[in-house]
Amino acid sequence: MKSLFSFEGRVNRAKFWLVVLGVLVAEGIVFGGLAAMMGPDGDVPGGLVAVAAVFVLVIVWVNLATMAKRYHDRNKSGWWIFIILVPLVGPIWNLVECGFLPGTTGPNQYGADPLAKA
């Protein structure tokens, strides 16, 4: 759990994609359940809206932490996650950096190589 919420350390591409997949599955379950609980007029009970809001905040935090650790693995500052705010180019840049480019080999200023054999 600490590895999901911490902004310290490094994460390899495989773990990054596992988090992405896990988030997508969790979102499908939570929001699919909310859709199933909607009333005939499209209303969702207030308590469920609060639960969904907390869920969204947790998911955003986990995504930011995981992306920051991917940038650390690329030997870049975690602040690079804000590149995603640049229209059009930012999300593509972030996807390429986090999802497809390999991390630095060996230890770097952010920690040990996550692929190094112990």
Q: What is the pLDDT of residues 22-62, one digit of tens each?
A: 999 999 998 888 888 877 777 777 778 888 889 999 999 99
Q: What is the pLDDT of residues 7-18, one digit of tens each?
A: 999 999 999 999
Judge whether 9 lies within some domain. yes
Judge whether 113 lies within some domain. no
Judge whether 22 lies within some domain. yes
- The residue written with tokens 């054999």 in the block is 117
What pTM was estimated for this model as a whole? 0.90
The CA distance from 14 to 19, in Å, is 9
Judge whether 110 lies within some domain. no
Burial of 98 (0-12, 13-18, 19+ CB in 10 A): buried
Could you give the percent of the chain with pLDDT greater than 70? 97
Judge whether 105 lies within some domain. no
Domain span at residue 61 reads 2-99
Judge whether 72 lies within some domain. yes
Q: How many domains does the chain have?
A: 1
Judge whether 84 lies within some domain. yes
